[in-house]
C-alpha cells in the first residue's frame, strides 16, 4: 500500500514512533512533498519502516506559483491512503484533503498537537 503523509511545515519535535502507529502494516511506500515539518517526519518514518520513499517537491521552474498545488495533485494521485497530521489551519493540507475527496482517495486526519513532543523533550526509544 502506498501511503502519503502530509501536514504542516511548521510542525516541530514530532514523535515519529507515535506517528508510525497510524501507518498501516501493509505499507510498502511512503509519499511526501519533501518540505519541513511533517514531510521531513515522513522521510524518517519510511527509513524506520524500511519502506520505499517517494518525494514530490514542488517544481517552481516548471509550474511557477502553482507548483505546490501541482505537487499535491501528484501526491494524491500516487497514494492509496493519505494520512494528514494537521494543525487544522494549514491551507495547503486543507487543499490536499479536498483533492482526496475529489479523487476519492481515502484519508485520515490526526490533530498535529497530539504528535508534537513538549518543548525540550526528545525521543528516547
Provide the pLDDT confidence category of residue 62 given band limits of 50, 70 and 90. very high
Q: Are 71 and 58 in contact (CB under 8 A)?
A: yes
Residues 6+ apart with CB under 8 A from 119: 13
Question: In the prediction, which pLDDT does 118 show?
Answer: 81
pLDDT at 124 > cutoff 60: no
State the alpha helices, DSSP H only, in 1-125: 16-20, 38-49, 60-63, 67-78, 91-103
Question: In the prediction, which pLDDT does 123 show?
Answer: 56
The structural domains of the chain, ordered by start, are: 2-115 (3.40.50.450)
Provide the pLDDT confidence category of residue 65 given band limits of 50, 70 and 90. very high
Q: Give the pLDDT confidence of 10-59 residue by residue, as tens digits.
A: 898 899 999 999 999 999 999 999 999 999 999 999 999 999 999 999 99
Q: What is the largest CA-CA distance in the chain?
A: 42
Average pLDDT, integer, range 92-100: 96
Average pLDDT, integer, range 55-77: 97
Spatial separation of the C-alpha atoms in residues 119 and 44, rounded to whole Å? 20
CA dihedral angle for residue 11, residue 73, residue 97, residue 56, rounded to 10 degrees: -20
Amino acid at each position: 500500500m502506498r501511503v502519503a503523509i502530509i501536514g504542516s511545515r511548521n510542525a516541530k519535535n514530532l514523535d515519529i514512533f507515535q506517528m508510525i502507529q497510524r501507518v498501516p502494516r501493509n505499507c510498502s511506500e511512503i509519499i511526501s512533498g519533501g518540505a519541513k515539518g511533517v514531510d521531513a517526519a515522513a522521510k524518517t518514518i519510511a527509513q524506520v519502516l524500511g519502506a520505499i520513499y517517494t518525494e514530490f517537491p514542488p517544481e517552481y521552474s516548471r509550474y511557477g506559483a502553482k507548483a505546490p498545488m501541482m505537487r499535491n495533485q501528484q501526491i494524491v494521485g500516487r497514494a492509496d491512503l493519505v494520512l494528514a497530521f494537521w494543525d487544522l489551519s494549514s491551507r495547503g493540507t486543507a487543499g490536499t484533503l479536498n483533492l482526496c475527496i475529489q479523487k476519492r482517495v481515502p484519508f485520515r486526519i490526526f490533530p498535529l498537537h497530539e504528535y508534537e513532543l513538549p518543548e525540550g523533550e526528545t525521543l528516547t526509544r
